[in-house]
Structure 1
Amino acid sequence: MQLTSFTDYGLRALIFMATLPEGQLTSISEVANIYGVSRNHMVKIIHQLSRTGYVDAVRGKNGGIRLGKPGSEIIVGHVVRHMEPLQLVDCTECMIAPSCRLKIALNEAVKCFVKELDNYTLADLVDTNQPLYKLLLTERPGSAVE
């Protein structure tokens, strides 16, 4: 199974925000620049993540974005379910749909895939991952990583 770029960059945005000190704001532009994705695409991603509570969007002159809850409470499988259209095939126009077992097998495979992701939190992906911190935070102007 391959995730859409929407979900992929959504997870990457969360990972980046999880490397920041708790409560620290960043910007959509900064996240987009770090990963080399268009700002417009990242706006849509962050909007979806904020609608589902994974990101807190702070308005105003000193606003920005940050994690909406601690990384230990953000379950990767839940994020994927909120972001990803999990239907692998469209059987509506298929002549064998009434007797096809492939769609059952594919649905079971998707359930297993996402269930495995339920075993991981955002904190599991980020905490004590010093190489990740160095890669992400050295890209930020004025950041120092010990």
Structure 2
Amino acid sequence: MQLTSFTDYGLRALIYMASLPEDRMTNISQVTAVYGVSRNHMVKIINQLSRAGLVTAVRGKNGGIRLGRPASQIRIGDVVRELEPLMLVNCSGEFCHIGPACRLKHVLNQAVQNFLNELDQYTLADMVTENASLYKLLLVE
């Protein structure tokens, strides 16, 4: 299974925000500069993360973005569920004529659930805690 770039950069943006001190905000321009992704793409990602409550966006002169809740409360599986279209195959009648007899869709659904269950074992805090190499790469103070 390969995650979309939308989910990939969503996870990266959250990792960047989680690596900052809790009281420090960042902005979309800083996140895009760190990862070299288009600002327009990152705006869409941050908007989705904000709607999900994973990011808090503050408007205005002293505004910016930060995690919507502590990194220890953000499970990686929940982020993927929020951002990733998890339908591996289209089993609707117009695309698949064997739907009523197909066992593959159940196998694939179970595989996705197992994948998400594994991701649920980890939080955003697990990705950044005591990770000096990450801080150096992100140039976090």
Report the TM-score, using the length of structure 1 for normalisation: 0.93
Note the residue ranges of structure 2 that are not aligned, 5 or more in a row.
none
CA contact (8 A) 1:50 1:68 kept: yes
Q: 1:5 & 1:55 partners in 2: Cα distance?
A: 18
The letter of the residue matching 1:114 is L
Q: 1:38 aligns to what? A: 38
Superposed displacement of residue 97, structure 1: 1.2
Q: 1:33 & 1:12 partners in 2: Cα distance?
A: 12
Q: 2:28 aligns to what? A: 28
Note the residue ranges of structure 1 that are not aligned, 5 or more in a row.
138-142
The letter of the residue matching 2:117 is K
Superposed displacement of residue 23, structure 1: 2.2
2:57 alignment partner, SS class: strand
Of 109, 116, 119 in structure 2, the residue corresponding to residue 117 of structure 1 is 119
The letter of the residue matching 1:76 is I
1:128 aligns with 2:130: yes
Between Structure 1 and Structure 2, how many residues are aligned?
139
Q: 1:109 & 1:20 partners in 2: Cα distance?
A: 34
**Over aligned residues, Cα RMSD in angstroms?**
0.9
Q: 2:82 & 2:114 partners in 1: Cα distance?
A: 16
1:96 aligns with 2:98: yes
1:69 aligns with 2:83: no
Q: 1:78 aligns to what? A: 78
Q: 2:40 & 2:23 partners in 1: Cα distance?
A: 24
Q: 2:8 & 2:80 partners in 1: Cα distance?
A: 9
2:133 alignment partner, SS class: helix
1:10 aligns with 2:10: yes
Superposed displacement of residue 96, structure 1: 1.0
